[in-house]
Structures are given as structure tokens and as C-alpha cells.
Structure 1
């Protein structure tokens, strides 16, 4: 009995760690969020990097215009800048 309890505990720990690392909780929590399409999307011509730019306006007052820049590199974080319209 004790051995089967340990097996269940170990399997449960493996399942929980797999779910947490897969981002399932993030997906579940974001189901209620309203999805907003960016007003403009385009790529920048940069040598050696795939740079994508997304522009959008915030939905709440005061309205801000934001630009988000993503690069496909494990060493570069996304950058976002917003300003009042």
C-alpha cells in the first residue's frame, strides 16, 4: 500500500510539473481576455534578424498608441513603447 502511494505521488508531481511548464495554466487564465488585433503589423529589414513590429491603440481611457517589437533571438527581449494619442 505504501509503495503504491509513493508511485501515485511521484506520478502526480510529474503531471503537475509538465502542465506548469507547458503553459496550460496561462492558456486557461487567458480564455476570458478580449483579443484585440493590432492596427498595423510589419517586418523590418534588418540583416541577420527577423524583426516584427505590431502597432495598436489601448482600449481604455486615456487612449495610448503602442508599438511592440519582437526579434527571433533568445538573447533579445521584446520592446514596447506607448504614448498618449
Structure 2
């Protein structure tokens, strides 16, 4: 969790710099966007490990679930045009 300190400092620095009137408007908007994107990515990284429990899955993945993936085992079976049979996405009908 120590990686949060530089992230928070970066977000705070970009947010503080975005309020500086001496910076052109495009620069202030860019800094505000960087601060917002950093905050959103930080939240996503913090929620990531909790996503499965938040979705209601209380059991850890089994070895078979970790290994099984139609996309990993056979990339030809899973593409943007044909879909992914593992997830039940079928395209081109």
C-alpha cells in the first residue's frame, strides 16, 4: 500500500497546479484530467482485488479455473469477429 503515497502526491500536485491561474486554460484542463484519471485508476486498482467478493463469489478460484480459458488454450477459437465460446459470446450469426 506504500505505492499509494506517490499516487496521492501526484494527484494532489496535479489538482493544486490545475487551480493556478498563471497556467493557460488548456494546461489547467490537462492537469485536472490527469488528477481525475489518477484518482479513477487508483480506485480501480483498490477495488480490483475485492471485485469477486463484491460480486458475491466467496470461494477462491480453483486451479482448474485458473488454467481454463478458451482464449489462452486456443486463440483461434476466440476473436473479435467470432466471439468467445468460454463466455458464450457468439458473433457473426
Would you call these one fold, judging by a TM-score over 0.5? no
Please report the TM-score for the alignment, with normalisation by the length of structure 2: 0.29
Higher helix share: 2
Please report the TM-score for the alignment, with normalisation by the length of structure 1: 0.30
